[in-house]
Structure 1
Amino acid sequence: MSSRSNDYGRDATIGIGTPQANPTVEAELRIVLPPACGLVVNRLTSASSDPMQRLRDYIERLEISLDDFDTLRPDAYGFACTGSSYLIDADEEARIIERIEKRLGYPIVTAVAAIRWHLAKLGVKRIALASPYPPGLSEAASAYWSGAGFDLVEVGRIDTGSGDTRSIYTLGSKDARQAVEAMAQLDVDAVLLSGTGMPSLKLIDDAAGCSPTLVSSNLCLANRLCDLVGLPVPAPSDWQKRLADALDTSREVPAR
């Protein structure tokens, strides 16, 4: 846990790297992480017009991105982009992470590593993958999870209407509901909603207590970050009220 005397982040200061146009990561992690965790965010950036190259740039340029924190050293840092891990060689990714951890002195976990950690804790072997990706990235995601030793029973694509990976950011959890509910009928241990840009907490909340387990990139990342800084993994009951407040449409919105 954090030893800082700052008014905020009493429990820990969590760093997050989110793709440059992603509007979902900060919102979902603020809901799941304990209120006494400070959240500091940097944007993963790339000028490439090629969606796949942008994802590779995010991880390959991570050390440069983290220098934007200047002297700030979070207690742990989460790389909140699953697509990058699907496209880069796993050994190269490990070398990048290890090099940065050694230089900066704090643990770094990718969203995909957090998912694997969470699924291992649950004893999950058979999964279905909800994939809000264009075909090329969806195929890379499928290959990754099969290669990681999981029995990938089915991939349910969630159509974003575009080959640009940024189109995921226009979707809501309702856009994934049909695919998730269909995969919940399969003989699997868990349904994985991949992609940090796809809102997931409403779906997970609605499926609480049901089988198979529904997990997402952002939820797994929040849980793993808590574990890394010595905090209990948040139970749904810890964040359901904050989620309900965030989704409350009855509140009057001030005129702009």
Structure 2
Amino acid sequence: MKDYAIKGRLAVATPQANPTVEAEVRRILPNDVDYCTLRLLSESGDPKTRLIEYLTSLPETIKSQFSGLSVLNLLFGCTASSYLTDEKTEKNVLRLASEALDGAQVITATEAIKQYFNKNNIKKIGILTPYPAWLQQHAEKYWADHGVEVIATERVEIGSDDTYKIYELSTNDARPGLVRLTKEDCDAVLISGTGMPSLRLISELGSTGKKIVSSNYAMTLIGLSYLGLSPKNQKDWFN
């Protein structure tokens, strides 16, 4: 651990086919913080069931994949799992997951976003997602139920009701919708979902004066803050 994780080692839990979480977390973390990946698994062909199982099976996934590996906290990189799972169930699962990690904190993407909103006094948001319509509805309801006013939405079309198609998207697919949302009367724009690339958009459009936060960015930022650490400077994300 001292050779490659001088200031700490995190765990990053990512959906089984998601290629984006690791790539973005790697760019945000300072060089002296390392991470190990946990793949969230489900054999279900139904996307809703699969997304829920990513969360509800987390304690057993930790036990089978990490086998006692020591980490300082775990970043749970599937925003939609929280949108679809009731809070009582989620709270119990996260407690068991923390126990499986010898007490390490488990930070969901949604919890990180909520903390980011609170720290920055964000009450009104625009939401950009790559979700199918059925999941978009759950996302909007989740934030409304948590006291955040959703004043505008943009959805990147993936041509499918299955979320696997999200992983084929690029920054260029998301840019037009984000540009439109930055012109809305909101405190911030949320790029919801860990599978669609977000960091170039945050870097390029963050100078518009509108706060832009994504699931991956919030999750990593808050995870580092628990360790008293700061993220890598944005200008170094792609150097």
The TM-score normalised by the length of structure 1 is 0.90
Structure-to-structure mapping, 1:92-111, within 5 angstroms: 92-103=89-100, 104-111=102-109
- Percent identity between matched residues is 36
The question of 1:32 aligning with 2:25 is answered: no
Q: CA deviation digits over 1:186-218, x for unaligned, max 9?
A: 100000000000000000000123222111000
Alpha-carbon deviation of 1:182? Answer: 0.6
Among 2, 10, 13, the residue aligned to 1:14: 10
The question of 1:115 aligning with 2:113 is answered: yes
SS in 2 for 1:22: coil
Query: Does the C-alpha gap of structure 1 residues 89 and 203 become closer, same or farther in structure 2, counting only changes over 3 Å?
Result: same
Alpha-carbon deviation of 1:86? Answer: 0.4
What residue in structure 2 maps to residue 199 of structure 1? 197
Alpha-carbon deviation of 1:128? Answer: 0.5
SS in 2 for 1:140: helix
Among 86, 91, 103, the residue aligned to 1:89: 86
What residue in structure 1 maps to residue 19 of structure 2? 23
Alpha-carbon deviation of 1:55? Answer: 0.2
Alpha-carbon deviation of 1:23? Answer: 0.3
Alpha-carbon deviation of 1:230? Answer: 2.0
Q: CA deviation digits over 1:146-191, x for unaligned, max 9?
A: 1010011012111011111011100001101111111111100000
Question: What is the rounded CA distance, in whole Å, between the counterparts of 1:134 and 1:157 in structure 2?
Answer: 8
Code of the residue aligned with 1:31 in structure 2: it is R
SS in 2 for 1:208: helix
What residue in structure 2 maps to residue 253 of structure 1? none
Gaps of 5+ in 1: 246-256
What residue in structure 2 maps to residue 248 of structure 1? none
Question: What is the rounded CA distance, in whole Å, between the counterparts of 1:21 and 1:100 in structure 2?
Answer: 21
Question: What is the rounded CA distance, in whole Å, between the counterparts of 2:226 and 2:38 in structure 1?
Answer: 19
Show structure 1 runs of 4+ deviating over 3 A. none
The question of 1:71 aligning with 2:77 is answered: no
Question: What is the rounded CA distance, in whole Å, between the counterparts of 1:190 and 1:80 in structure 2?
Answer: 21
What residue in structure 2 maps to residue 161 of structure 1? 159
Q: CA deviation digits over 1:42-73, x for unaligned, max 9?
A: 10000000011000000000001111111212
Alpha-carbon deviation of 1:102? Answer: 3.5
Code of the residue aligned with 2:39 in structure 1: it is R
Structure of larger gyration radius: 1
The question of 1:135 aligning with 2:126 is answered: no
Q: CA RMSD in A?
A: 1.1
Code of the residue aligned with 1:95 in structure 2: it is N
Count residues in correspondence: 237
SS in 1 for 2:13: strand
Question: What is the rounded CA distance, in whole Å, between the counterparts of 1:169 and 1:105 in structure 2?
Answer: 32
Question: What is the rounded CA distance, in whole Å, between the counterparts of 1:116 and 1:56 in structure 2?
Answer: 20
What residue in structure 2 maps to residue 249 of structure 1? none
SS in 2 for 1:214: strand
Question: What is the rounded CA distance, in whole Å, between the counterparts of 1:174 and 1:49 in structure 2?
Answer: 29
What residue in structure 1 maps to residue 56 of structure 2? 60
Question: What is the rounded CA distance, in whole Å, between the counterparts of 2:207 and 2:175 in structure 1?
Answer: 17
Question: What is the rounded CA distance, in whole Å, between the counterparts of 1:242 and 1:184 in structure 2?
Answer: 22
